[in-house]
Amino acid sequence: MEKREVGYQSALMGYSQDFQPGLTRKEVEDRLRSKGASFGQIWTSFGGRRESDYADIVKIGEESAPWYCSEAYVYIALEFSAVEEHSFLYHHLAKDSDVLKRVEIFRPLTGCL
């Protein structure tokens, strides 16, 4: 477990250096694509913060899931702030103009009862 955590922290440091706050979502996603990184988007609020927005997530690992979950993945989350208002009427709500706010490790409990 400790070895994996060192790997996660190393990945976080690399992503934090490559993706500085202030980049647009388009710039971030273009760089991710150019590196061949597979990523997704989620609506979230990390670390108990009240503000929420769309984040791009890149899977960096997998942990043993607790008995009540089927999976426990570890991601790098690139969290953005909206510059333009997002509409909840459309499936794809993230916008290219969103601005990168922070880069964090994200451990959702997915596939849980």
**Residues 35-66: tens digit of each pLDDT:** 999 999 887 665 565 555 789 999 999 887 77
SS (H, E, C) the chain: CHHHHHHHHHHHHHHHHHCCCCCEHHHHHHHHHHCCCCCEEEEECHHHCCCCEEEEEEEEEECCCCCCEEECEEEEEEEEECCCCCCCCCCCCCCCCCEEEEEEEECCCEEEC
Q: Report the Cα–Cα distance between both ends of the chain, in Å, rounded.
A: 24
What's the confidence (pLDDT) of residue 2?
85
| pTM greater than 0.85 (yes/no) | no
Which range (38-47, 71-80, 82-91) has the least confidence?
Answer: 82-91
Instruction: Kindly state the percentage of the chain with pLDDT values over 90.
Output: 48
What's the confidence (pLDDT) of residue 91?
46
